[in-house]
Amino acid sequence: MRKIETAKVGEDLYEIVKKLPIQRFSKEVTGEYAEALKKYYGVEKILKFNQTQEYLFVNLIEELQIQTNDNKETSESNES
């Protein structure tokens, strides 16, 4: 199972695909420029995170299923 970095915005949870410093861009990431970047990185949305001065390139996580070791052991013991 892979680990992913996430960001919660309101009730939505996003997978962070890429982080880039705001200073790396010479202009605001909006309009056609934002659309081109979304397509390039394969993301649904670009969030501007002022706290860390970064743009977050993210995809919405629609369903989240948390698996713990207890759940895994239970499912394995049920298979026996």
pLDDT in tens, 9-59: 988 999 999 999 999 999 999 999 999 999 999 999 999 999 999 999 999
- Per the structure, how many domains does the chain have? 1
Amino acid at position 80, single letter:
S
pLDDT computed for residue 80 by the predictor: 41
Number of H helices, E strands in the chain: 2, 4
Model confidence at 61: pLDDT above 60: yes
Alpha helices for the chain (secondary structure H): 31-41, 69-79
**pLDDT (mean) for 3-12:** 89
Residue 1 inside a domain? The answer is no
**Are 29 and 41 in contact, with CB atoms under 8 Å apart?**
no
**Are 13 and 66 in contact, with CB atoms under 8 Å apart?**
no
Q: Which domain holds residue 12?
A: 6-79
